[in-house]
Amino acid sequence: MSGASPLNNDGSFLSVRGLSLSYDLPGRTFWRPAERRPAIRDVTLSLQPGERVGLVGMSGSGKTTLLRSLLAMELPDSGEITCQCKPVRPASVPLMRWYRRAVQYIPQDPAASLDPRMTVQALVAEPLLRLHVDCDHVQRAQEALEQVGLDRRLLTRRPGELSGGQAQRVAIARAIATRPSYLLADEPVSGLDLPIRAQVVAMLRSLSEATGTGLLIVSHDLSVVSSLCQRTLVMDEGSIVEDRPTASLLRSPRHPRTRDLIAAILPLSVPVVTAPL
């Protein structure tokens, strides 16, 4: 289990120090080099074991680029990311395989991320196969499906036969099948109707509390974050402008961007107990 490894020197599970990343703008020619646009600027943060953290900001604030960096999908210009004293990039193949097991991703759009040709059982078991997890893959897939509140009879179905809420739960089951220490989620409920959104948020919270799995939720919607996360980071123009306990941030926002996000909050009633979708 990844939890047996030592934490970073600051006691965190995942640590980011001085991370910066820029992109080339269009218009580069032989005579004129490309201009670069900063996407994230000197970002420093830490994620504690089992912590539920929200990362919020307007479109273009840099939160998705930061998430992709944490997933080792982007190579930053400077700075470092370490997970339990191990560097995330650059890293050897075995180390990246370990990292993919310890940190899993929940996509924004399950319809685009789930292969329509595969059964639910094959989809949930695929990370176990690719990451060389030594276990009974069928049994682990069944357990993961039950953890997200879905009947194991869905194992033989394909994504096209699922509702939106069921597809999102399958995507979550696929992410938790490796028993990760942290889940990184990109707008995990943005495509769902409000009642289903509330059920999925409550399920994620219950799952985190029951298993000790940490969550980093990337969103522009503070209603989701306030219902789920203990701490909230606010990004603006590539920088983290607030990093505070969620309740305190909502009571007394300090940055203008935080006040804008709070003004846009929609009510989200999260039930204590979720029913299968």
Q: Which of 1-10, 48-57, 60-69 shows the lowest per-residue confidence on average (mean pLDDT)?
A: 1-10
**CATH number of domain containing 220:** 3.40.50.300
Flag whether pLDDT at 40 surpasses 60.
yes
Q: 274 lies in a domain? A: no
Q: 86 lies in a domain? A: yes
Tokens 């899993």 -> residue? 104
User: Which pairs from 99-102 meet CB under 8 Å and 24+ separation?
Assistant: 99/72, 100/127, 100/131, 100/178, 101/2, 101/131, 101/133, 101/178, 101/179, 101/180, 102/2, 102/180, 102/181, 102/182
Q: What is the mean pLDDT of the chain?
A: 87
Q: 1 lies in a domain? A: no
Please state the pTM of the whole predicted model: 0.86
Maximum mean pLDDT: which of 77-81, 186-190, 265-269: 77-81
**What's the total number of domains in the chain?**
1
Q: 257 lies in a domain? A: yes
Flag whether pLDDT at 273 surpasses 50.
no
Domain of 197, in residue numbers? 12-24+36-111+182-263
Q: Give the model confidence (pLDDT) of 76-97 as tens digits.
A: 999 999 999 899 977 788 899 9
102/7: higher pLDDT: 102
Q: 254 lies in a domain? A: yes
Q: Give the model confidence (pLDDT) of 205-240 as tens digits.
A: 999 999 999 999 998 888 889 889 999 999 999 999
Q: 46 lies in a domain? A: yes
Query: What's the pLDDT score for residue 230?
Result: 94
228/29: higher pLDDT: 228
Q: 128 lies in a domain? A: no
Flag whether pLDDT at 4 surpasses 60.
no
Q: 42 lies in a domain? A: yes
